């Protein structure tokens, strides 16, 4: 009997050793790098493109990348759960060395689609990616990045290096992966198709499910509707004080948006004020850039999403 216990003990120690060895390998090898693909692309920068690109960037880029110098020079992301590490957004000004001034349009397009930088480094899901966005919308974002907007002019401020956690490094090997390039041109949805437009805005452009589903770790970047607890909220986010703020249920369950009329919905999205008069809590912010039609489309689509009863 003692011999059996001794063998079990030795097997357990061997297992612990293997796990520790694997953890050490993941930790020191870091996030995997990947081969890049050359994309021949030159985006025409027009006022119309820049305006459309800035509209999307206001919701998707500026909040995370705005530095203390008033430019998109990067900063510490205080609202990212600490389990993912100490995360810093990058300098995306037009500085030729510290920023993206020497990136080609094709390299920017490839990053926005796949999450792979021009040096092969993969950026985990704390940077939004656009695998299903229309080509023209990505061209608009690139045109905005190339524009003469003050926030994009070269900044000498070099962002601190992100300190990714062991969990993030592990997930980047088993769950968080680069996204594929589309094998065909993706076009914008027909604006007369209210549900199609709403689905596109919610899932493919503004990525509402990223925060409003159950957990970042179980989100599906390629097909957001397959995320656990899709749009049912409960994802533990952080406010600027480091306090946990769980995301809201935005399905039309009674614990979500069931009592919200279209006017109530427009008000909360545009001003940040709930129908009970309370102000939205950070990291949710108002989105004054949405047009009435876009909000109507989002509202119509959310009504079709399977209801989830919130446990928050």
- 278, two tokens: 């309370």
Q: Is residue 3 reached through a cis peptide bond, with omega within 30 degrees of 0 on the bond before it?
A: no
Whether 16 shows a pLDDT value over 60: the answer reads no
Pick the CATH number of 47-174 from 1.20.1260, 2.60.120, 1.20.120, 1.10.760: 1.10.760
Give long-range contacts, CB 8 A cutoff, 24+ apart: 42-50: 42/105, 43/105, 43/139, 43/142, 43/143, 43/146, 44/143, 45/143, 45/146, 45/147, 46/143, 49/139, 49/140, 49/143, 49/144, 50/140, 50/143, 50/144, 50/147, 50/149
pLDDT category of residue 3 using cuts at 50, 70 and 90: low
Q: Taking a C-beta distance cutoff of 8 angstroms, is the pair 89, 71 a contact?
A: no
| Residue pLDDT, tens place only, 115-172 | 999 999 999 988 999 999 999 999 999 999 999 999 999 999 988 889 988 888 888 8
pLDDT tier for residue 301 given thresholds of 50, 70 and 90: very high
Predicted TM-score (pTM) of this structure: 0.89
Predicted local confidence at residue 202, as pLDDT? 97
What pLDDT, in 10s, does the model give residues 241-263?
888 889 999 999 999 999 999 99
pLDDT band of 62, cuts 50, 70, 90: very high
Comparison of pLDDT for 3 and 166, the residue scoring more: 166
CB 140, CB 57: distance < 8 Å: no
* pLDDT exceeds cutoff 90 at 27: no
Task: Give the list of residues 6+ apart from residue 205 with CB closer than 8 angstroms, or none.
Answer: 56, 60, 130, 133, 137
Under the banding of pLDDT at 50, 70 and 90, the label for residue 205 is very high
User: Using CA atoms, how far apart are residues 33 and 172, in angstroms rounded to an integer?
Assistant: 10
- CATH 1.10.760 is the classification of domain 194-235+248-302: yes
Domains 47-174 and 194-235+248-302 share a fold: yes
Tokens of 177: 């992966």
Distance CA 230, CA 238 (A): 20
pLDDT at residue number 153: 97
The mean of the pLDDT values for the chain is 89
Q: Which of 22-36, 114-128, 211-225 has the lowest mean pLDDT?
A: 22-36
pLDDT surpassing 90 at residue 269: yes
- Hey, where are the domains in the chain? 47-174, 194-235+248-302
Q: Is the pLDDT score of 109 beyond 70? A: yes
pLDDT band at 10 (very low <50, low <70, confident <90, very high): low
């Amino acid at each position: 009997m003692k011999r059996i216990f001794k063998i079990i003990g030795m097997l357990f120690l061997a297992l612990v050793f293997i796990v520790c060895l694997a953890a050490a390998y993941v930790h020191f090898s870091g996030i995997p790098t990947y081969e890049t693909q050359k994309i021949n692309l030159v985006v025409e920068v027009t006022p119309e493109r820049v305006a459309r690109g800035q509209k999307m960037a206001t919701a998707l880029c500026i909040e995370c990348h705005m530095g203390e110098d008033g430019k998109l020079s990067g900063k510490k992301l205080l609202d990212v759960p600490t389990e993912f590490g100490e995360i810093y957004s990058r300098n995306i000004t037009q500085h030729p060395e510290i920023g993206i001034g020497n990136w080609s349009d094709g390299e920017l397009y490839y990053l926005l689609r796949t999450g792979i930088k021009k040096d092969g480094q993969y950026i985990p899901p704390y940077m939004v990616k656009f695998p299903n966005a229309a080509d023209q919308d990505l061209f608009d974002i690139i045109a905005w990045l190339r524009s003469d907007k003050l926030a994009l002019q070269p900044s000498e401020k070099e962002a601190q290096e992100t300190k990714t956690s062991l969990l993030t490094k592990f997930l980047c090997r088993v769950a968080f992966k680069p996204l594929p390039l589309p094998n065909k041109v993706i076009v914008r949805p027909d604006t007369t198709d209210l549900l199609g437009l709403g689905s596109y805005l919610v899932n493919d452009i503004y990525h509402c499910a990223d925060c409003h589903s159950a957990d970042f770790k179980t989100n599906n970047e390629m097909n957001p509707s397959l995320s656990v607890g899709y749009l049912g909220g409960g994802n533990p986010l952080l406010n600027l004080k480091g306090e946990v703020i769980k995301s809201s249920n935005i399905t039309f369950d009674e614990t979500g948006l069931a009592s919200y009329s279209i006017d109530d919905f427009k008000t909360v999205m545009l001003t940040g004020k709930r129908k009970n008069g309370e102000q939205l809590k950070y990291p949710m912010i108002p989105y004054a850039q949405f047009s009435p039609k876009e909000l109507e489309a989002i509202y119509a689509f959310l009504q079709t999403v399977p209801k989830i009863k919130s446990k928050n």
